[in-house]
Structure 1
Amino acid sequence: MTGTVLDTLADRYAHWLGLPASATNDVSDEDPAEVRAMPVILRIERGDPPQRTPLLEAAAAAAVAVCLDPRAEAEGEWHDQVKAWVDSRIRKVSRRARGAHWEAVQSLPGVTITVDGASARALVPGLVAETPKEVSRLQISGSEIPADDPGPAPPDVPTLWLNPKVPMTAGKAAAQVGHASMLLAAALKADGRESYFEDWKDFRCAVRTPPLRTWASLHPGDDPLNAWRRRQVVAVRDAGFTEVAPGTVTVLAQLP
C-alpha cells in the first residue's frame, strides 16, 4: 500500500492540532469555486430508520475505504480527485437518502458499507460547485437519530470515541468519524505499518461515547505525537463551520 493519497495527511496532523482555534476555520484564502468535499450519504428510511451507532460505523468505514481503494492510488481513476481533496481542506458533507434517491447515488463513484443493517455511501470527493444532482437534491438537515446502547466496543477493531461533552447530529457525527478513520489510516501509513491494513477487514471501527474520565485520559492535549506513540490515539479537531465551536476536538480514534 505504497503511495496512497493519505501520505500528506499525517504530515499536517500535528500542525493542525497546534493551531489556535481562531485559525482553524480561516478560509479567507479560499476560492469558492475550488472548494472540495466528500459527500457521505446516510440511508435513513422513513419507516425503518437505522440505529445510530452502526450507521456511524458504516460512515467511518466508507470514508476511509474510498481513500484506500485501489482506484484512488496513483494511476487509478479516482486518484486525482481524491488527492486534490486530501491536499486541501478535508470537508465532508453528510446527506440523508431513502428509497429511489438512495438507489440513485449507488451509480456515482464511491463505496457503500453496511454495518448491522445500517448503510452509508462515501462518494469520491469533488468540487462543491459541481455536486451531481443526485446528491444536491438530498437534504443535509434532519439526520437526527436517537442515541442507542451499543454495549462495549469489540476489542479487535479501532474505537472512535465521540466527545461526551459535545452533542452532534448523526450527520455531523458521521462526518467526524469519517475524518477519524482517515487520520488513523494516515498515522498507520506514516509509521510504515502496512501489515495492519491486511487485517483491518472492511475498515470496521467501533463508535462509542466514553465517560468523561476516559475522554480526558485519551485526549492528546498539546502533544499529538506522544499521544500517538504512547496511547495510539489521534484526534479530530473541527474547523467549526457547523454545530460546534472552532477548534473543538470531536473524536478520538484509538487503535485496539
Structure 2
Amino acid sequence: MSSEDLPEPLAVSTPEPLPGADRESVPADPADSPFRTEPTSRDEAPQFVLPLVVHIEKTDPPARTAALRTAARAVLTMLSDERALGGGEWAQVMREWQDARIRKVVRRARGAEWRKASALPGITVAGEHAEVRVFPPVPLDAWPRELAKLQVSGTDLDDPEPPAAPDRDAPVLWMNPEVGMSAGKAMAQAGHGAQLAWWELSDTERKAWREAGFPLSVATPDPDLWRELTVSGLPVVRDAGFTEIAPGSCTVVADHPALRR
C-alpha cells in the first residue's frame, strides 16, 4: 500500500517506556506481562495497530471528554472480550499486537462511512453523547479499505461545558495539563492509559472492573497535582513522539484505586 492509499490518521500513538514509572511498554521478559507471549524484541516483531473509529456527525459531534472516556472504555472492552482471549477468534491477532509495540490509531466517520465501518467485525461502545467502535488489530500496512479511506483532517472536539470533577473513588485517567493534543491523539493516549491499568490489575480486579461496566473518569489536573501523580508509582504513558508531541512526553497517568500503593 502506498502512502497515497492511506489517508492521514486522526492520531497514531505508540507509547515508549518511562524508567521506573511507565508500564505501558511491554517488558523485555515476557514473564513480566500476562499478555506477552514471545521473547522477540518489540521492534523485531510484526507490527499491528488497534483501530478505533469515533462517530462524529457534523451537526451533533460528541464532547471531547466524553469521546476520550468512551475510547478508553472501548479499549478495555476489546481487551476483555471473550473473542480476544484464550482460543477466541481474535485471540491470535491480539497476542501478536501485544507482542509488538502497542499502537492505536483513531479515525472518524459519519453517515454512510460509519455504517460501513460498523459492518466490519468489532465492538461499538456508547458513552455519554459519544460512540466509538474498536476493531481487532490489523497489520500496520494492511488496513481494511472501509477504515483506511476514512478522512480526519482538521477535526477536533470541544467540551461545551466544563467536565464534572472526577470521582476519586473510581479509576481516573489524568491527562497532562502541559501538553496540547488533538482530540484523536488524546483518545489514543486515554486508551493507552486504560490498557496500562488493565495490565497492572489482578484477574479478580479486572473481573470486577469489567462487571461494573468499566467506570472511569478523564480529567486534567493542575500542574502541581500532575507532578505528584507522575512520581506516585502509578502507571504513566510516555509517547514515542511520532505525531503532534515531542518524543518522551508523559501524557497520561492511569489512576485505579487498586493500584494506589
TM (norm. structure 2) is: 0.79
Matches within 5 A, 1:4-83: 16-18=17-19, 34-83=46-95
Matches within 5 A, 1:91-106: 91-106=103-118
Task: Indicate the SS of the match to 1:203.
Answer: coil
Q: How far apart are residue 31 of structure 1 and its match?
A: 7.3
Matches within 5 A, 1:106-255: 106-147=118-159, 148-188=161-201, 192-200=202-210, 201-220=212-231, 227-228=232-233, 233-255=234-256
Q: CA RMSD in A?
A: 2.3
Task: Indicate the SS of the match to 2:71.
Answer: helix
The alpha-carbon distance between structure 1 residues 30 and 219, as it changes in their structure 2 partners (threshold 3 A), is: closer
Q: Return the alpha-carbon distance in structure 2 between the equivalents of residues 134 and 202 of structure 1.
A: 29
Mark the runs of 5 or more structure 2 residues left unpaired by the alignment. Answer: 1-14, 26-41
Query: Structure 1 residues 196-205 or 49-58, which shifts more?
Result: 196-205
The alpha-carbon distance between structure 1 residues 178 and 199, as it changes in their structure 2 partners (threshold 3 A), is: closer
Q: Percent identity?
A: 39
The aligned length equals: 222
Check conservation: 2:71, 2:191, Cα contact below 8 A: yes
Q: Return the alpha-carbon distance in structure 1 between the equivalents of residues 140 and 197 of structure 2.
A: 25
TM (norm. structure 1) is: 0.80
Per-residue displacement from partner, 1:16-39 (whole Å, max 9, x unpaired)?
A: 2129xxxx9xxxx9579x431111
Q: How far apart are residue 156 of structure 1 and its match?
A: 4.0
Check conservation: 2:82, 2:88, Cα contact below 8 A: yes
Check conservation: 1:160, 1:180, Cα contact below 8 A: yes
Task: Indicate the SS of the match to 2:235.
Answer: strand
Query: Structure 1 residues 200-209 or 47-56, which shifts more?
Result: 200-209
Hey, which of these two has a bigger chunk of helix by percent?
1
